[in-house]
Amino acid sequence: MMIRTRWPVTARRRVGGCAGSLIAIALLVSGCAAGPAADASRTASATKELQSLTQAHLASTLAASVTENLVPGAIAVVTTPDGTVSASYGTTTLGETRAPQASDVFRIGSVTKTMVAAVILQLVREEKLALSDPIARLVAGVPNGQNITIAALLQMRSGLQNYLDTDGFATVFDHDMTTVWTPQQLVDFGFGYPAVSAPDTVFDYSNTNTTLLGLVAEKLDGKPLADILHDRLFDPLGMTDTELPSATTTALPSPLIQGYQYGIFPINHRPLLPDEEQAAAAAGTLQPNVVTVQSPSWSWAAGGVVSTVNDLMTWAKAMGGRELLGDTLHALWLDDVKPMDPANPDNGPQYGLGIEQSRFGPNRLYFHEGQLPGFNTFVATDPAHDVRFVIWTNLGVSPDGQATAKAVASAVIDKLYRTKLGTPVISATH
């Protein structure tokens, strides 16, 4: 897969109801402290590290990135201590002129994983389960379930096969994305394959993990996951346009955003478009397919939520704050991370309890990407510098395999921070 962005990528994510390729991140969260001294420290740090990002800067950055990657339409919203700037580009539907809006509803993919992780941590806070509990205590039939903990599922270290990478799933999904699946059917695809690794030994991105966590939430709260997410997260935060739709709700609401892709959606075992088709796409003689209509059930807890940029900016703020989890568990959520690449533990990519980190110099960005057919989303927060941003595109993957919203994110970070992605991590003690 060709990666043109400057993220220090050392691992490849299996995509689907989740997201594209994996990234990096680190810095202590000084913004978590309360009081005037912490505010003054955060202001001084932001003044030193952040660069001014005007609306014109954001608009030109967005346009350059999405044009390069043949994206029909995109929108980006960025909040810093200087305020909020936004820009959109292109169209929600090829052949029409309506530009993407921050109120448009789209599929957020694996950003859903951060929401399910927050629910699981709330249940931990309520002492309904522990991160050290084996999944076998709550869900029967999981291979080696006595040795796979809730923490390992959140951290993508269970060793369970990603159901997206199974031939059984792909054969049906390629034929009909409106097929309705039960969560049990999905995890059974993964259970039918040998373990990728022993539990808690290797990072391996698997939607099977988060699907199991959705089943855990349903068992402990005694209601459907859609209701759990609404009652615990969306309603309290005022995210009125965000939901996990029913399995049979295959369309998006009006005004309709069309999602596009070139060829077959590139789940991990699939090749990119042939060179001649990439060239045809660049020349405009090969158009992307419309893939808007699909059942949310295929990604469910791993990526089935629909939302808006406005609501996801609220979610980005919640990810960086302590309102949902309280001080102790929020700090654990952000800081309990492990390297995805054991050969590069300090400066390589990090993944924690359903949330990713990218480290560069003194900075730590918390984020998750969401990629599925037709859509790519990137939601990030940097509490230490009071930064958060959301990027959405209606082309999940460029013809050469680039995750499109991630490409924009890389360019935005380059404009926003003085320290560049890939800069070795500076210890908090230095």
For residue 427, the model assigns a pLDDT of 66
- Whole-number Å distance between alpha carbons of 76 and 62: 7
Res 25: pLDDT: 28
What is the Cα–Cα distance from 175 to 423, expressed in whole angstroms? 44
pLDDT interval class at 98 (50, 70, 90) = very high
- The pLDDT, as a whole number, for residue 174 is 86
Residue 169 above 50 pLDDT? Answer: yes
How do residues 280-326 score in pLDDT, each as one tens digit?
999 999 999 999 999 999 999 999 999 999 999 999 999 999 999 99
Q: How many domains does the chain have?
A: 1
Residue 211 lies inside a defined structural domain of this protein: yes
pLDDT at 22: 31
- In SS3 terms, 236-274 reads as HHCCCCCECCCCCCCCCCCCCCCCEECCCCCCCCCCCCC
Q: Residue 48, Cα to own-chain centre: how many angstroms? A: 28
pLDDT level of residue 347 (50, 70, 90 thresholds): confident
CA distance 102 to 387: 18
**Domain range for residue 368?**
30-416
For position 32, what pLDDT does the model report?
33
Q: Which two tokens stand for residue 405?
A: 């919203």
CA distance 148 to 134: 5
More confident residue, 344 or 405: 405
Give me the residue label for tokens 């940029």: 309
Give the model's confidence band at 46: pLDDT under 50 very low, under 70 low, under 90 confident, else very high. low
Q: Is residue 5 part of a domain?
A: no
Q: What pLDDT does 35 receive?
A: 40
Work out the average pLDDT over 165-191: 94
pLDDT at 26 over 50: no
Residue 27 has what pLDDT? 26
Q: What is the pLDDT of residues 223-263, one digit of tens each?
A: 999 999 999 999 999 999 999 999 999 999 999 999 999 98
Is 77 in contact with 390 (CB distance < 8 Å)? Answer: yes
For residue 422, pLDDT over 70 is answered with yes
Q: What is the pLDDT of residue 345?
A: 86
Q: What phi and psi values does residue 319 have, to the nearest 5 degrees?
A: -60, -35
Classify residue 175: in a domain, yes or no: yes
Question: Could you give the dihedral angle defined by the CA atoms of residues 330, 332, 334 and 338, in that order, rounded to the nearest 10 degrees?
Answer: -160
Backbone angles phi, psi at 329, to 5 degrees: -75, -30
The mean pLDDT value of the chain amounts to 89
Instruction: Single out the residue of 119, 199, 156 nearest to residue 18, CA to CA.
Output: 156
Mean pLDDT of 346-368: 93
**Residue for token digits 């050290």?**
132
Report whether pLDDT(43) > 80.
Answer: no
With cut-offs at 50, 70 and 90, classify the pLDDT of residue 343.
confident
Is the predicted pLDDT of residue 393 greater than 90, yes or no? yes
pLDDT of residue 33: 34
Question: In this predicted structure, what is the pLDDT of residue 3?
Answer: 30
d(CA 34, CA 2): 43
Is 375 inside a domain boundary? yes
Give the pLDDT of residue 214: 98
pLDDT at 12: 35
Range 123-137 average pLDDT: 98
- Answer yes or no: are the C-beta atoms of 315 and 239 closer than 8 Å: yes
Residue 192's domain is classified under what CATH number?
A: 3.40.710.10
Q: What is the mean pLDDT of residues 63-73?
A: 97
Q: For residue 421, is it within any domain?
A: no
In a domain, 238, yes or no: yes
Q: Is residue 425 part of a domain?
A: no
Report the 10 Å Cβ neighbour count for 299.
30
pLDDT exceeds cutoff 80 at 122: yes
Residue 268 predicted with pLDDT over 90: no
Give the per-residue pLDDT at 273.
Answer: 87
Q: How far is CA 195 from CA 143, 160, 397, in A?
A: 8, 5, 28
- What's the rounded Cα separation, in Å, for the pair 107 and 174? 18
The whole-angstrom separation of Cα 93 and Cα 108 is 18
Q: Evaluate if pTM is beyond 0.95.
A: no
Please indicate, yes or no, if residue 23 is contained in any of the structural domains.
no
Cα distances from 154 to residues 110, 116, 144, 219, 338, in angstroms, run 13, 9, 16, 17, 11
pLDDT of residue 376: 97
Q: With 0-12 CB in 10 A as exposed, 13-18 as middle and 19+ as buried, what is 56?
A: exposed
Of residues 354 and 10, more confidently modeled: 354
* 45 confidence band (pLDDT: 50, 70, 90): low
pLDDT tens per residue, range 181-198: 999 999 999 999 999 999
